[in-house]
């Protein structure tokens, strides 16, 4: 009698479901929630009709991100940073406040320790806009802590209105480190741009608690040397989805 041969084929039910817009997961390494940001296209740089743009927000350019990614729903809190890094360098102290006074290397280390990385400047702006084309994704006082409403301090994360991706404090509270080195926007790198391999400054995004309204915009860019710190600067992490 011949041996029976059984062939098993993978079914859709046996594969992990691909993330979709609106999905949120908690990273057990830092206890923070991460939101799925789908692949897509957007126009990077000065928003249509925005009269407050600076030279380095030009020229605008069409950007394509071919892969989705997970992004911190909030800025990294002091409680999360303490859990991963073992210390808390912040000037403003509180477990639910965003960590501040973190150098770029320390932010990069934290993100790698939790299985992620810092978002590129293009990823950050794409996520901040969340499909909108204006200078902000909502009314300023409803979405951001800045000099007029912050009482000159950071605030617990997630207390203002989120954008359409479900991300909080993309504008205001603390300015955020990105992975990218700062450069003027003349590059023709329009697909998954990462920026130059080396430069003097790292790019910061988002505006913070002590900034004027003109600095709390989706396309506003600032820069600082990676070894510098400030009590207006924090970060959030991105994570890539493993390929199936």
pLDDT tens, per residue, the chain with 244 residues:
444 433 333 344 445 678 998 899 999 999 999 999 999 999 999 999 999 999 999 999 999 999 999 999 999 999 999 999 999 999 999 999 999 999 999 999 999 999 999 999 999 999 999 999 999 999 999 999 999 999 999 999 999 999 999 999 999 999 999 999 998 866 667 999 998 888 999 999 999 999 999 999 999 999 999 999 999 999 999 999 987 6
d(CA 179, CA 56): 18
- Specify the CATH number for 23-240; select among 1.10.340.30, 3.90.1580.10, 3.30.930.10, 3.40.50.10490: 3.90.1580.10
d(CA 9, CA 101): 53
Q: How far apart are the first and last CA of the chain?
A: 40
d(CA 34, CA 221): 24
- Beta strands 175-181 and 69-72 are unpaired
CA distances from 178 to 5, 28, 147, 237 (A): 54, 23, 22, 9
With CA atoms as reference, report the closest residue to 165 among 205, 125, 203, 217.
Answer: 125
Domain borders along the chain are 23-240
Do residues 164 and 130 touch, judged by C-beta distance below 8 A? yes
Q: How many CB atoms lie within 10 A of CB 107?
A: 26
User: From the centroid of its chain, how far is CA 44?
Assistant: 15
d(CA 68, CA 72): 13
d(CA 130, CA 137): 8
């Amino acid at each position: 009698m011949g041996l029976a041969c059984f062939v098993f084929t993978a079914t859709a039910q046996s594969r992990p479901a691909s993330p979709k817009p609106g999905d949120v997961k908690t990273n057990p390494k830092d206890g923070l929630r991460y939101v799925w940001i789908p692949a897509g296209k957007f126009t990077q740089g000065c928003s249509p009709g925005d009269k407050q743009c600076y030279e380095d927000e030009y020229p605008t350019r069409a950007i394509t991100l071919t892969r989705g990614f997970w992004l911190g729903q909030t800025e990294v809190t002091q409680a999360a940073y303490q859990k991963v890094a073992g210390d808390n360098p912040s000037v403003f102290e509180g477990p639910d406040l965003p960590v501040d006074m973190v150098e770029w290397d320390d932010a990069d280390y934290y993100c790698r320790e939790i299985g992620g990385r810092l978002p590129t400047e293009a990823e950050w702006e794409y996520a901040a806009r969340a499909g909108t084309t204006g200078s902000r994704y909502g009314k300023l006082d409803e979405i951001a802590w800045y000099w007029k409403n912050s009482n000159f301090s950071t605030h617990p994360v997630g207390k203002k209105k989120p954008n359409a991706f479900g991300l909080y404090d993309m504008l205001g509270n603390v300015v955020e480190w990105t992975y990218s080195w700062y450069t003027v926007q003349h590059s023709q790198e329009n697909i998954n741009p990462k920026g130059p391999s080396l430069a003097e400054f790292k790019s910061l995004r988002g505006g913070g608690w002590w900034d004027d309204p003109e600095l709390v915009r989706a396309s506003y860019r600032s820069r600082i040397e990676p070894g510098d710190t400030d009590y207006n600067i924090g970060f959030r992490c991105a994570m890539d989805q493993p390929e199936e």
